[in-house]
Amino acid sequence: FSGWEGHSTTNYYSYYSKSRFFQSAGKVSTCQSLDFKGQFELLQASLTQADPNAYMAAQNHTSWSWGARVYIQMMMAAQHVGV
């Protein structure tokens, strides 16, 4: 991301901080607001399709935030299974 090199790499850390706040306080922080629920539901819907990859490609999600959410979803899934 030309001109955003430093900023684009710090976005992930705020979600780590947000998850730690939830673990310690039991409250959801209001900082950051990427739609993880909507993305998760879309990914789950893709699994019901004959070709999940084509289904997701047809959704045409190409923004930086979509990619960030995919990465964070992977980290959450790994954490959920104890990795």
| Tokens (6 digits) for 35 | 């739609």
Alpha helix positions (H), the chain: 5-25, 36-46, 52-59, 64-80
Name the range with the highest mean pLDDT among 6-15, 43-52, 69-78: 43-52
DSSP state of 27: S
* Residue that the structure tokens 């705020």 belong to: 14
Contact call for residues 32 and 17 (beta carbons, < 8 A): no
- pLDDT class of 9 with cuts at 50, 70, 90: low
pLDDT at 13: 72
Tell me the whole-structure pTM to 2 decimals. Answer: 0.61
- Mean predicted confidence (pLDDT) in 16-21: 79
- How far is 49 from 45, CA to CA, in rounded Å? 7
pLDDT at 3: 59
Q: Return mean pLDDT, the chain.
A: 82
